[in-house]
Structure 1
Amino acid sequence: MLYRVELREAAAKLLSDATDAGPNVFSRRALPITQDALPAIYLSAPSDTARSTGRNAPEFVRTAQLNVDAMVSEGTPEATQDALDALIEQIELLIMQDVEFQARLSQVSGIRILQEVTSENSAYIGKARVAFSLEYFEEFSPGGTPVTSLDLHMQARGNTDFAEARDTFPLPNLQ
């Protein structure tokens, strides 16, 4: 499974356990949702970039964008804004203060919050996107057959049997 997908699913579990959205936290569902099912949270990881660590083994510093889209609806614009602010705070604090989630990352390199309250179909709907830039390291193992033994044959001054050695590596040491 892609690591950004693992991060998205870990964040979804974290948010469904401790936000006002409760069971209405979705990571594999498309909008829209009905007003009576709000508050709700949608998670996506729409982008991921990789920067090489150098001209050595294929290692990268990756940054996945985790979008957390929150929606609320209350009876007045003020109540909707208050509910939206509370949900945004819950999202930000849970992601940033959860030790297990943060241990999966090298750092959160950015947070961007966009929000609005509108009146659609005579109902007040508050929407927010909390976009986290989640940085982590990834390295790719070289392909091919693992080395399990080494044979050495040395020559010196015309002597073709000067020295030889053979060593077999135990498989658990190969990583």
Structure 2
Amino acid sequence: MQTRTEIRTATAGLLAGATDAGSRVFRRRMAPIPAPEPPFLLVYAAGEAASGDEGMSAPHFQHDLTLTIEATVNGTDEAAEDALDALCGQVLDRLLTDPSWVRSWSRIVAVNTSSVPAADDDRLVAKVDIVGRFHTVWEPVLGDELASVGLKVDAIDPADPNAAPEGGPDGRIEIGGGVVLPPFG
């Protein structure tokens, strides 16, 4: 089972040194203080929705996780817009062309890029949201251990003159026994 932390760590590791942001890739929602010199990337899980499968088995969930990579560049002119577009493209190129990263999801559901307001008037910020799907299963933990097993067999012999007229079990136990199991652990 993947966790949000594992996904963020793997994503940040792939992006470090692979884009114009260089090693300025942070696994967090807020930039460190003092803020690093742009360009830099923030990698975080923005949200997660899980839906369960119905049935009597162990709980199975399908998760849709929104992984956000927030890109920040200096400037507000056309050159800054171009730099921001290039940085977002580098992020997608690095992640979506890495087979192990793509295989870590059961499916990539959506990729969305949007502009967001910057905290400073002299910077541009964009978000790349990747919605990926993965599955989890929680196996139940059984508190009681199995201590013994009993077995009784009512065999059907078609040639038995005492068999029930409809040919089913006659209620006589032909084989029976039990086994006491050793303590678990």
Higher share of residues assigned helix: 1
The answer for the alignment partner of 1:164 in structure 2 is: 177
What percent identity do the matched residue pairs reach? 25
TM-score (norm 1): 0.78
For 2:26 and 2:32, locate their aligned partners in 1 and report how far apart those are by CA, in whole Å: 12
Q: What is aligned with 2:134?
A: 136
Which amino acid is the alignment partner of residue 177 of structure 2?
Answer: E
What RMSD in Å do the two structures reach over aligned CA positions?
A: 3.1
The residue matched to 2:12 in structure 1 has which SS? helix
**Contact 1:43/1:66 (8 A) holds in 2:** yes
1:158 is displaced (CA, Å) by 5.1
The superposition leaves residues 3-50 of structure 1 with CA deviations (integer Å, 9 ceiling, x where unpaired) of 122111111111113111111100136236667611000111031111
Unmatched 5+ stretches in structure 1: none
CA–CA separation in structure 1 for the residues paired with 2:55 and 2:119? 54
Q: Does 1:94 align with 2:94?
A: yes
Matches within 5 A, 1:32-111: 37-57=37-57, 58-74=59-75, 77-111=77-111
Deviation track 1:35-90 (CA, whole Å, cap 9, x = no partner) reads: 7611000111031111122224210111111011000114x612111111110001
How many residue pairs are counted as aligned between the two chains?
Answer: 165
After superposing the two structures, state which structure 1 stretch, 93-102 or 23-32, moved more: 23-32
Compute the displacement of 1:149 (Å).
7.6
Q: TM-score, normalised by structure 2?
A: 0.75
Distance 1:16 1:80 in 2: 21
| Aligned position for 2:160 | none
CA distance in 2, matches of 1:93, 1:152: 61
Tell me, in whole angstroms, the C-alpha distance in 2 between the residues paired with 1:15 and 1:86. 14
Amino acid at match of 1:63: D
SS in 2 for 1:152: strand
